[in-house]
Amino acid sequence: MTKVIIFDFDGTLADTLNAIVTITNRLSVEFGYKPATKDELAEIRNLNSWEIIKHSGISIFKLPFLVRRVRKELRNEIQEIRLFPGIKEALLELKNQGNQLGIITSNSKENVLALMERNGLEEIFDFIYTGTTLFGKHKVINNWLKQAAVKSEEVVYVGDETRDIEAAKKAKIKIIAVSWGFNAKAALAEYKPDFLIEHPHQLIEVIKNW
């Protein structure tokens, strides 16, 4: 059976946290929420998405506009963004094993391609699917499953946030949660992902035994 491995981008493949924090802090006055301090980041990593929104004080109605602005401004920072250590090697090995690889992200395809091209990985992904639904990621996943005519039991999603776990469960696909991204390991564990890993090389073993 061909395995389809779908990756989140920010916090899973690309280390964009510092850039995103800088951008969102810069936009805080315009969008009416409080910026995050360095001391708060450790606390925020243990919160789920709704708790983070409540903590920041941003209006839920402004969120879609903020996401679009962050995505646009991130394009100016993309040359400074790096893949997490070990990710490139893991992706190449997974591809060599005959798996189908893809990305589903709320970031822009332009940003994703820019980073992948810089790392010589522009040909490794079979698809890059973007959608801006902040709390309806399962709908984006389901739309892709329908378009690609892929059975859910053939698919695993790899993400770094509690909302990735929730989305995968709603879409009825397996989820590998990674602890090197935004949410802390303890926060991810509370949402009971199918797998919880701490280093990209563990992806190889998980996929092999799945």
Rounded to whole angstroms, the Cα distance separating 86 from 106 reads: 23
Residue of 8, 10, 160, 164 with catalytic role: 8
Give the residue-averaged pLDDT of 130-137: 69
> In the prediction, which pLDDT does 131 show?
74
Find all residues with CB under 8 Å of 107, minimum gap 6, and list them: 9, 10, 16, 71, 74, 130
Active-site residue, 8 included = yes
Give the residue-averaged pLDDT of 155-165: 95
Q: Is the dihedral of CA 95, 97, 98, 101 positive or negative?
A: negative
pLDDT at 56 over 70: yes
In the structure, what pLDDT confidence band is assigned to residue 135 with cuts at 50, 70 and 90?
Answer: low
Q: What angle do CA 17, 50, 110 make, to 5 degrees?
A: 40
Please, which residues bridge with residue 34 across strands?
none
Give the residue-averaged pLDDT of 121-133: 86
Of 103 and 33, more confident: 103
pLDDT at 176 over 90: yes
pTM value? Answer: 0.91
